[in-house]
Amino acid sequence: MTSIGLQHYLLLAAALFCLGILTMTLKRNAIGILIGVELILNAANLNLVAFTRYRTGAIDGQIVAVFIILLAAAEAAIAIAIFMNFYNSLATIDVDRADQLQG
């Protein structure tokens, strides 16, 4: 068996990132989009932690990852508050219905 290196993590993160993009584009439920964002953030975090372990030997990347987790939590809180408003005013959670701004 080959030993696990940086490339493995990068490939996995790339796959996770693409799946996140797919989730964001394919879900019509607003919360599905939020889930897609979480996937993308996780991919980024995975990259950061892998790089910081294999390339620097320091732990600065982990600190940044902590901040990203924090931001993700904050973003989820705000997003869900917005969705609730959205749901209260349109009685649906389908983002395709949120097109009043369309030209």
Partner 1 sequence: MIDLDLALALGVLIPLISFTFLAFFGSKLPGIVPDAHGHDEHGHELPPDHLHKSDHSHAPAHDAGHGDHHHFPPKEKKPPGGNPLAGYIATAAIATSCLLATYVLVKWVGMAPGQRTAYAAEMAAKHTFHWADLGKLNLSVAVNLDSLTVIMFFMVTFVASWIHVFSLGYMAEDPRFHRFFTYLSLFCFAMLGLLISNSLLFLFIFWELVGLCSYFLIGFWFEKKSASNAAIKAFITNRVGDLGFIVGLMLVIFYLQDVSLAGATAKFRALADDPAAALFTQTFWGVNLATWMGIGLFCGAVGKSAQFPLHVWLPDAMEGPTPVSALIHAATMVAAGVYLVARIFGLLTPQAQFVIAVIGCITLGMTALIAAVQTDIKKVLAYSTLSQLGYMIFGMGVGAWVGALFHLLTHAFFKALLFLGSGQVIAGCHHEQDMRRMGGLRSKMPVTCWTFFLAVLAISGAGIPWSGFGIGGYHSKDEILVVAYHRAYKWFDEVHHSEHHSALSSSEAYAAEPAHGGDQKDSHTTASHGSGGHNSLGAIYPQVPPLPKWMFWIPVIIAYITPFYMTRCWILTFAGKPRDEHVHEHAHEKPIMWVPLVVLAIASVLCASIPFLTVRLLVADAAHTPEAHAPIDKLVGSRVSSLTPAVNGEELHDAHQALGWIVGFAFVAGMGLAWAIYRNGFGFANAIVKSNPLFRGIHTALMRRLYIDDLYNLVLVGGTHVIARLSAFLDKLLVDGLVNLVAALTRVFSSFTGRQLDMPIKAGDIGFVDAIVNGIANATRTVADLVRRPQSGRIRLYILTLAGVAALILASVAFWDQLEALPGRFKPADSKTKTQLSAAIAGGDSLASGAHRDQ
Partner 2 sequence: MNVNTWLEPIVFFLFAGVVLFSAIGIVLTRNIVRAALFLLGTLGGVAGLYFLLMANLLAAIQLIVYAGGTLVLIVFGVMLTSKSPWVRFAPSRSEAAAATTIGLVLFAALAKIVTGIDWTVAAHPADQPATVRQVGNLLLQQYLVPFEVASVLLLVVMIGAAYLARPEN
Residues 2-21 that bind partner 2 (CB under 8 A): 2-12, 14-21
Binding at 103: pick from partner 1, partner 2, none (beta carbon under 5-8 Å per type): partner 1
Binding at 99: pick from partner 1, partner 2, none (beta carbon under 5-8 Å per type): partner 1
d(CA 74, CA 30): 17
d(CA 12, CA 16): 6
Contact 78/52 with Cβ under 8 angstroms?
no
Q: Which of 5, 7, 15, 28 binds partner 1 (CB under 8 A)?
A: 28
Pick 2 or 57: Cβ nearer partner 1: 57
Asked if residue 83 binds partner 2 (CB under 8 A), the reply is yes
Kindly list the residues in this chain that would bind partner 1 in the complex (CB under 8 A).
21, 24-28, 33, 55-57, 95-96, 98-103
